[in-house]
Structure 1
Amino acid sequence: MTAHTLGRGWRLFAILVLGFASGLPLALTGQAMQAWLTIDGVDLATIGFFGLVGVPYTFKFLWAPLMDRFEPPLLGRRRGWLVITQFALAALLWWMSTLSPIGTPVLFAAAAVLIAFLSASQDVVVDAYRTDLLPDEERGLGASIHVFAYRLAMILSGGIALIWAGQWASWPRVYQTMSFIMLGCAVVSLLALPRVSAALKPLDSDPKRELVGFVAMLAGVVAGYFIARQTLILFGLDPDDANRWIQLLFILAEIAVALPLAAWAAKRAGFETLNRSLSSYFDQRGAAAFLALIILYKLGDAFAGSLTTPFLIKGMGFSQEEVGIANKVIGLWLTILGAFIGGLIMMRLALYRSLLLFGVLQLVSNFGFYLLAQLGKGAWGAVDVPAFDWVIVSLADPATLDWLLLTVIAGENISGGMGTVAFVALLMSLCNQRFTATHYAMLSAFAAVGRIYVSPLSGVLSQSIGWPAFFLFSIVVAVPGVVMVWWLREAIHRLGRPQPVTEVDD
C-alpha cells in the first residue's frame, strides 16, 4: 500500500468521523428532545417554543469569521476548534441528562441552547476543514462520505434514540449514551485527525479590531432585544402573557430589531472579516431575492416537520418505538435514497428544473400528513415487523407498523431528500470562493430560518385550528417557494450547472 493511498484513507476516515460528529447533536435539540418533552407531559405550545433552542443555527455566520480568524494554540486553527467544540458538546449532553424538562425547565432550555450553539459552531469548522483538507480530486467522494455519516448519526440520535428511550424507559440514559459517543469523536479529533496545509493561514486583519467588532455586534443584539421588548411593554403588552400569540409577537419583534442593529454595530466597529464577506455576497445581482428563496423553499417542509413527533405520539397515538422505527430509522434511510435519486435526476436536468420539480414534490408530500390526521391510525391496516437484534438496537417482541404511516413517511422523506440535493447545489452556486466558509455558514443559516422559527407558530396553530387544518396550511405556505423558483428562473439559469453537494441543516 502506497503512502498516497494511506494518506487518502486517513483523510476520508477523518471526514467520516467529522460527518458523524456533525450530525449527532442536531436531533438531540430537535426531534429527540421533542419526544422527551412529550413523554414528560410538556404541553404542545411549550414544545413548539422549545424549537427556538435551534436559533444558533440561523446565526452561526456571525461568529464564523472569528473561527476563521483566530487559531487555538498547539492543535491548529481547524483541529483546535473541532476539539474544543466536541469536548464541550460531550460535557453539555451529560449535563442535560441530569436535568428535568418539568422540574428545571429554564436550566433544561439553557443546556439545549448551549448544545445547539456548539453544534452550529462545530458545523462551521467541519465544512471549512473538509474544504481545506481534501484535494480537488477527492472532494466528490469526501462529500458523499460526509452525507452518509451525517445521516447515519441522525438515524442514531433521531431514530434509534427513540427506540432506546422506549426500551430503557429513560431519556436521561439516552443522553448519557450520546455524551459518551461524542466524547469518542472528540478523542479521535484530538489524536487522529490530519492537519490541514500550513499554507492556509488565518485572514490578515487586526485581531483586536475583529474582537472589538464582534463585541459591538453582540451589544447590538442585546440592545435590539431590549428596545423591542420595552417598546411592546410600553404599548401595554406583557411578555409573560398566557396568550401564546403575544409571546410569539415578542420573540419575532426582538429578532426583527436585534439583527439590523447588530449589523450596523459590526459595520461601525470594523468587524472586517464579517463585513467584507457580507459585502461580497450582497454585491451580487439578485442577492436579496435569493435569500428570500432560500428561506421559502423549505418552508412547507419546515411546517409539516416541526411537530411531527408530538403529532405522531400524542395526536395519532403511535408508540415511541413505532415512531422511532418508521419516522427516524426507515425515514432517514429513505431521505438518503431520495438524495441519491435527486442526484441522478440532476445529472440530466438543469438546476432550475430540478428545483422546480422537487419543490412541487415536497409540496404534494405534505398532503400525506393531512390524510393521516383525517383517516387516523390503522386506516390502511398494518404490517408485522419481526423481532430483531442489530447489536446497537433490538426489538424484543414482534411489532406492527401502520401502512398509512409508512406511506406518508416514505413520500415525505424521499421528496425531502430530492429537494435537499437541489437546494444545497443552489447554496454552493451562490458562494464566492474567497469567502466560502462564511458565505456557506450565512446561507445555510438562512436556510435554517424556516426550520427554527416556524416551531413556535406551529405549536400555537396546531392547538388553535387542529391537526388536519394545520397540515393544509403547511401545503399553502409551500407555494411561495415554488413560485420564487419560477420567478428567479433566469437568474438560476445563469448560475450554471450545480457542483457536487455537501450536507446542510433541514
Structure 2
Amino acid sequence: MSGSAQNSQAQRIALLSGLYTAQGIPFGFFTLALPVLMRDAGWSLTAIGFLQFLALPWGIKFLWAPALDHHGSRRGWLLFFQCSACLMALALSQLHMQTGSIVLFAAVFLFNLIAASQDIVTDGLAVRLLGAKERGLANAIQVGAYRLGMILGGGLLLWLFAQTGWQVMFLCMAALLGLTILPVLPLKEPVRRVDAPQRPAGMALMIGWLHRALAPGMLTFFGLIFCFRFGDQILNSLLPPFLLDHGVSKSTIAVMKGAVGSGTSLLGASIGGWLTYRLGRRKAMLFAGLSQAAGFGLYVAVAFGLGGVELLWTATVLEGIVGTMATVVLFTLMMDACDPDHAGTDYTLLASVVVAVSSLGSLTGGVLGDRLGYGPTFLLATGLAVAGCLFVVWWLDRHPTNERIAQAWG
C-alpha cells in the first residue's frame, strides 16, 4: 500500500472514529449514567424503562433520512450537527439541573435528535468511503468508537458528576464533543456516480423511506433484526438498576459498566471485525450470538443468588467482549443489505429497527423486572437470545433476503 493510500485510510479511520465517538458520549451518559441516578432517586424500573421513549428520534430518523442522504453537503451536515451538540452541552452547563428536571428530559430528546441525524450522514458516508472488503473494519470502528464514547459518557462523566456536579460534567461533555469536530474539517466527500439515480424531490423525497422499506427483502430483514436483538435488549436494559439493587455503588458501576465493560467492548469490536472477515458472516454470527447468550448466563446466576460481585465483574468483562462481537456481525450484515445508491436511507431504516427493538426491549424488561423479578426475566431474555440467533442463521441459510446478502452470507 502506497504512502498516500495509507494516509487516506488513516484519515477515513480518524473521521469515522470521531463521528461515532461523538454519538456515544451523550448516549453513554443518558443510557448508562442517568438510569443509575434515577434509580438512586427512587424511580421504579418501569419509569426508567419509559425513559427510552426520549430516544424516539433514533426510531423515526428514517423519515428525514432521504433528505440528508440526497441533498446538501455531507461535510456541511456533519459540522452543523457536531457543533449543535457541543453548544447544547455548553448551554446545559449553565443551568441548575436535577435528576427529574423537565429541562434534562428535553435535553435527552434533543441530543438524541442531533445524534440520530448525524448518524444518518455518517452511516451513508461509511458505506461510500469503504469497499465491501472493508465492511468488517468499518463496523468494528463504528461499534468500537461508539463504545469509546460510552466509556467517556457513561463512565467518566458519571464519575465527574459524583465528584463535582452537573456544571463541570456538561462542560467536559462539551469539550469532548468539540474534539470530535476536528476530523470533519479536512473531509473531502466521495464523488457521486455519474449514473446514480436522480435525487428525489417533493413527495418522492418525503416518502422515499417507504420506497426503500418495500425494496426486496427489507421487511424480512427487519424481522430478523428483531429476532436477533430482542432478548439481549431486555436483559441489558436492566443491568444498571440490577447492579445498584445488588449493593454496587454508583462509583463502582461507573467503573464496571462505563469503563471496564465498555473498554472490553473495544476488544470485542476488533475481534468481531476479524471474525467477520476470516470466518464469514454465517459462522461469525452463530459464534458471536451464542457466545453472547452464554455470557448472559452469568447474570442469571447472580440474579438467582449463585454468585456475588466477583461474578458480576466477570460477566461485565465477558459481555463487553462477546456482546460487541455480535453487534459488529449484525451491523456488517446490515451494511451488506444496503444499496450503495441509497446507503444512508437503507442503513438508517435498518438502524431504526435496531433502536425500535432496543426501546421495546427496555420497556418490556422494565415491566417484566417489576412483575417477575430479575432472575426469571434474565432467564427468559437469555432463552430468547439463543432462539433468535439460531432462527436468523436457519432463515438466511434458506432464504437470503436479497442478492447482496446472498453473496455475503456463508
How far off its partner does 1:492 sit?
4.4
Match of 2:226 in 1: 295
Identity %: 28
For 2:234, give the aligned amino acid: F
How many equivalent residue pairs?
A: 403
Q: Does 1:370 align with 2:364?
A: no
Q: Does 1:78 align with 2:78?
A: no
Kindly provide the CA deviation profile for residues 62-102 of structure 1, in whole angstroms up to 9, marking residues without a partner as x. 2110112321xxxxx10111111112212333445536455
Which residues in structure 2 correspond to 1:165-184 (within 5 Å)? 165-168=161-164, 170-184=165-179
How far off its partner does 1:178 sit?
0.6
For 1:460, give the aligned amino acid: V
How far off its partner does 1:47 sit?
1.2
Match of 1:109 in 2: 105
Match of 1:266 in 2: none
Q: Does 1:355 align with 2:285?
A: yes
Structure 1 residues 417, 101: CA separation in 2 closer, same or farther (over 3 Å shift)?
Answer: same
Q: Does 1:87 align with 2:22?
A: no
Q: Which has the higher contact order (CA 8 A, sep 6+)?
A: 2
For 1:18, give the aligned amino acid: L
| Rounded Cα–Cα distance in structure 2 between residues aligned with 1:360 and 1:200 | 40
Q: Secondary structure at the match of 2:188?
A: coil
CA contact (8 A) 2:46 2:370 kept: yes
Kindly provide the CA deviation profile for residues 237-285 of structure 1, in whole angstroms up to 9, marking residues without a partner as x. xxxxxxxxxxxxxxxxxxxxxxxxxxxxxxxxxx3x3344334x2x23x
Stretch moving more, 4-13 or 40-49:
4-13
TM-score by length of 1: 0.71
Match of 1:36 in 2: 37
In structure 2, list runs of 5 or more residues that go unmatched.
none
| Rounded Cα–Cα distance in structure 2 between residues aligned with 1:57 and 1:436 | 17
Structure 1 residues 13, 338: CA separation in 2 closer, same or farther (over 3 Å shift)?
Answer: closer
Kindly provide the CA deviation profile for residues 127-156 of structure 1, in whole angstroms up to 9, marking residues without a partner as x. 223344557897776665554433322211
Q: Which residue, 249, 254, 258 being the options, matches 1:324?
A: 254
Structure 1 residues 122, 407: CA separation in 2 closer, same or farther (over 3 Å shift)?
Answer: same
For 2:171, give the aligned amino acid: Q
Kindly provide the CA deviation profile for residues 172-205 of structure 1, in whole angstroms up to 9, marking residues without a partner as x. 532332123223434663xx23231454699634
| Rounded Cα–Cα distance in structure 1 between residues aligned with 2:146 and 2:267 | 14
How far off its partner does 1:14 sit?
2.7
CA contact (8 A) 2:271 2:325 kept: yes
| Rounded Cα–Cα distance in structure 2 between residues aligned with 1:289 and 1:139 | 22
| Rounded Cα–Cα distance in structure 1 between residues aligned with 2:246 and 2:276 | 37
| Rounded Cα–Cα distance in structure 2 between residues aligned with 1:96 and 1:198 | 38
Larger helix percent: 2
Q: Does 1:160 align with 2:90?
A: no
Match of 1:467 in 2: 374
Q: Which protein shows a greater Rg?
A: 1
TM-score by length of 2: 0.86
Q: Which residue, 258, 274, 295 being the options, matches 2:209?
A: 274
In structure 1, list runs of 5 or more residues that go unmatched.
72-76, 215-270, 381-401, 500-506
How far off its partner does 1:352 sit?
2.6
| Rounded Cα–Cα distance in structure 2 between residues aligned with 1:92 and 1:109 | 13
| Rounded Cα–Cα distance in structure 1 between residues aligned with 2:107 and 2:140 | 32
For 2:269, give the aligned amino acid: A
CA contact (8 A) 1:21 1:150 kept: yes
| Rounded Cα–Cα distance in structure 2 between residues aligned with 1:67 and 1:51 | 25
Q: Does 1:194 align with 2:187?
A: yes
CA contact (8 A) 2:130 2:138 kept: yes
Kindly provide the CA deviation profile for residues 9-50 of structure 1, in whole angstroms up to 9, marking residues without a partner as x. 544433332232232232133112212323333333211111
How far off its partner does 1:307 sit?
2.2
Match of 2:346 in 1: 439
How far off its partner does 1:356 sit?
2.7
Match of 1:457 in 2: 364
